[in-house]
Amino acid sequence: MMTGLKLAHWLGLAMVLAGLGIYGLTSWTEQIQGILTVSSLIGLGLVMMSPFPIVLFFQWAKAQEQPQDASECQSQSQSLRES
């Protein structure tokens, strides 16, 4: 699942950059078809990019709330006392 999200993220970034490149480097956006193409590239690119950071945040939050075992806590406190 993460590989697909990473691929979608990078593809979305490429679409956004392509839309910005067309917008900034050509006069194609003076036509209706150009406006639709650029806005579609940027909009769909942003939509494709958005799930990946959210999934990363949920994974990070889940890792933060994992309770430590009592034996791990004791070994950590013993190693702190020794140093």
For residue 76, tell me if it sits in a domain.
no
Torsion, Cα 41 44 45 50, to 10 degrees, reads 160
Could you tell me which residues come within 8 angstroms of residue 67 by beta carbon, excluding any fewer than 6 positions away?
none
**∠27-31-33 over CA atoms, to 5°?**
115
For residue 68, tell me if it sits in a domain.
no
Give kind and range of the element (H or E) at residue 65: none
For residue 53, tell me if it sits in a domain.
yes
For residue 7, tell me if it sits in a domain.
yes
Domain count, the chain: 1
Question: What's the domain range around 15?
Answer: 1-57
For residue 66, tell me if it sits in a domain.
no
Per-residue confidence band for 2, with pLDDT thresholds at 50, 70 and 90: confident
pLDDT tens by residue, 55-81: 999 999 988 887 665 555 556 556 656
Q: Between 2-25 and 51-64, two packed helices, what is the crossing angle to 10 degrees?
A: 140
For residue 51, tell me if it sits in a domain.
yes
pLDDT tens by residue, 13-56: 999 999 999 999 999 889 999 999 999 999 999 999 999 999 99
